[in-house]
Structure 1
Amino acid sequence: MADINYAQNEKYFKPVSYKPGIISIVIGVLLLFFASFGPVVIGLLLIGLGCYLIYRQTADRPTDADFDHQISIALGGLRKRALEKLDLDESEVELIKPVIVGGKIFGGTSDVKRGKDGIYRTSECEGIVIFFAEQELHAFKYQVSLVNSARTKESTDVYFYRDVVSVSTRSDSIPVRVDQAQVPVHLDVFRLTTSGGTNIECSMGAAITSSDNEIRAARQLIRDKKINAS
């Protein structure tokens, strides 16, 4: 996978505060109007400092599109990474296309920001890949922070078709804290449930997410395999 720019991404979530810069400019302007030569120089310096402080709040701050590109980088190589972690060859899992799902993580250590486009973005994202072999399915889950390289989790599982109870998607409205306020955020979620009570769950919405037809094909394959095994 390409490198994630953690430092730049951290700036995306850092609150913007123009207050110190504005205060410096106001004091500088007052000195210009009401002071003699010496304080005038100080006033000019304070105005310059204020302008610099305001500039620093916006300089090199990623746009919404820049951050979306970072999500694409984080999840873009998910299929290849899954094959490596599961120690699989592509030829072993060619029954149907793998189900790939990716999306945002709300809650926990995630920072949340409402973009200029009205979309809520988080500092952590996740993805799963499910491959389908003749007798079993292979699952890989990946969770990654876009602001902290130490916060990365990976897990792998293998399930027999007969143990899969359901493959489902659902839409939730979850409360999320943004700028000291609780707001409802819409979230689509993919879930695979097994008879042993194990769940593989991942939010949806990233560009890598499989189509509805591909998810339906996975449901049908699991259904057929369970019927043939009974």
Structure 2
Amino acid sequence: MKYTVVLPAAGSGKRMKADKNKLLLELFGKPIFIYTLEVFQRDPNCESIWLAVKEQEQPLIEELVEEYGITKVAGFAAGGAERQDSVRACLEMIPACDVVLVHDAARPFIEPAVISRLAEEAAASGAAIAGVRVKDTIKKAGSDIITETVERENLWIIQTPQAFDYALIKKAATAAFEAGYMGTDEAMLVERLGHPVKIIESNYENVKMTTPDDLIYGRAILESRVQEEQE
């Protein structure tokens, strides 16, 4: 299933304890966001890539996109104060299409098979998101006292990509903006309209590079994948 992908890339390095956008940090000499873009560059079903970036970082990001041969980048939108603002800015720019994926530029290890399943499901039902099942015991607490042990059978850790019918996500984003509603992901905006969202099981390697510990994990994943390719 053909799709267009939107990548909000206007974040900061605060939780990464870096003095610059965490996406510009390198793993084995390559910026994190380039690994992410390369996944979609290689996917024949990806028709175009749209990035939401900080105005002052756009020249550098454009330079890196050209340096690494990412030819599917079709345009840049101005990153907003919140992720939701950045995604909406991209949605307002991209031409009408069938399926739109929204993906964290800081998740460089998404598997092509998961992307394909998400796009197919979004085309069929309108909305699908990636996730993995919770493995740990989850407890609710008031202050530091446990009030409930939550049954984890029906709990999921939600990731990206999140895939949607183009008209549906445009409608959801516009409705949220007009109502002053801020969600934590795009699925919340669609859920708010009463539209069902399907979860597609992903894998635990699809981690978001957020803190210094994640960089350690990211290096380990890359080393493992290189070793697998050599065997």
Q: Give the TM-score normalised by structure 2.
A: 0.24
Larger radius of gyration: 1
Report which of the two has the higher share of strand.
1
